[in-house]
């Protein structure tokens, strides 16, 4: 693992657990020796990406990450354009709505509006959504470049539940169906008891750059609900794309 990769892994560890962590705990979770972790943390502190509490000596994410996020959002205002649409869809459906964006690390959850209902689905920010096991991943595959789709179809496809898709042929069938419908349906593939419906967010080249999804407990999701949610997520995905790039050639409104 390169030095940069190790440093990034430390940032991810600090962002996924408690707000602050001790050096020993970070080293244990990362699987690196303490000297290596300390050296990396010192470099990250110098760049403002990590901070250390002067009293407890615990480490936490630094404000420099916010600066980088703001710079990225200024150049490509994905969240600024998408968040109002996500919030509107959550208000319309009463269920959890989450937005994901593709990067080299995979499909990442970047914004979540949870349902106000007691029985609701929770999606962690920053979670990597498995392509073969989530509605977001399947619809992304339906509208992504062929090279990315073939890489995922080649596996591996780890099982998360007894309902997780585990072979290339079945996944290809689900991807083709999502492409034909314009939205995908996730039936407990990642978490038992959860149903989800997702639609792509298309870039200027017509390929998916992310997805928007509605996730709800299976016990209150009927066939008619799935069809209704499908129409809603398609409209929401299209609106986000139009906010970012304008209407794509040949694209029609639902």
Q: For residues 95 and 120, is the Cβ–Cβ distance under 8 A?
A: yes
Q: How large is the average pLDDT for residues 15-37?
A: 90
pLDDT of residue 251: 57
pLDDT of residue 68: 83
The rounded Cα 161 to chain-centroid distance in angstroms is: 19
Lowest mean pLDDT among 125-129, 150-154, 191-195: 125-129
Same fold across 3-67 and 76-245 = no
**76-245: CATH number:** 3.30.450.40
Q: How large is the average pLDDT for residues 194-206?
A: 95
Q: Which of 208, 205, 207, 170 is nearest to 189 (CA)?
A: 170
The answer on pLDDT for 7 being more than 70 is: yes
Query: Would you place residue 249 in the very low, low, confident or very high pLDDT band (cuts 50, 70, 90)?
Result: low
Q: How many residues does the chain have?
A: 254
Q: Which of 186, 7, 212 is nearest to 89 (CA)?
A: 212
Q: How large is the average pLDDT for residues 28-35?
A: 93
Query: Would you place residue 99 in the very low, low, confident or very high pLDDT band (cuts 50, 70, 90)?
Result: very high
Domain positions in the chain are 3-67, 76-245
Higher-confidence position of 131 and 105: 131
Helix/strand/coil for 122: coil
- Tens of pLDDT, residues 58-77: 999 998 888 887 787 777 78
Q: Which of 226, 215, 201 is nearest to 142 (CA)?
A: 201
The answer on pLDDT for 254 being more than 60 is: no
Q: What angle do CA 102, 97, 67 make, to 5 degrees?
A: 50
pLDDT of residue 236: 97
**3-67: CATH number:** 1.10.10.10
pLDDT of residue 122: 93
């Amino acid at each position: 693992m390169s030095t940069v990769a190790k440093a990034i892994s430390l940032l991810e560890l600090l962002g996924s657990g408690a707000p602050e962590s001790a050096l020993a705990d970070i080293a244990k979770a990362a699987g690196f020796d303490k000297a290596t972790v300390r050296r990396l943390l010192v470099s990250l502190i110098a760049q403002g990406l990590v901070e250390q509490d002067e009293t407890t000596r615990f480490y936490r994410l630094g404000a420099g990450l916010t600066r980088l996020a703001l710079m990225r959002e200024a150049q490509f205002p994905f969240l600024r354009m998408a968040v109002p649409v996500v919030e509107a869809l959550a208000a319309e459906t009463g269920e959890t709505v989450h937005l994901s964006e593709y990067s080299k690390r995979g499909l990442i959850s970047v914004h979540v509006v949870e349902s106000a209902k007691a029985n609701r689905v929770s999606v962690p920010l920053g979670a990597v959504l498995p392509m073969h096991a989530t509605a977001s991943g399947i619809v992304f595959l339906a509208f992504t470049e062929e090279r990315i789709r073939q890489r995922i179809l080649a596996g591996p496809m780890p099982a998360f539940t007894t309902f997780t898709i585990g072979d290339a042929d079945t996944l290809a069938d689900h991807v083709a169906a999502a492409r034909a419908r314009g939205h995908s349906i996730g039936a407990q593939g990642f978490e038992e008891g959860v149903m989800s419906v997702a639609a792509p967010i298309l870039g200027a080249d017509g390929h998916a750059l992310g997805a928007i999804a509605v996730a709800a407990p299976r016990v209150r999701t009927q066939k008619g609900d799935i069809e209704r949610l499908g129409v809603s997520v398609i409209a929401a995905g299209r609106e986000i794309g139009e906010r970012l790039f304008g209407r794509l050639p040949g694209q029609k409104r639902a």
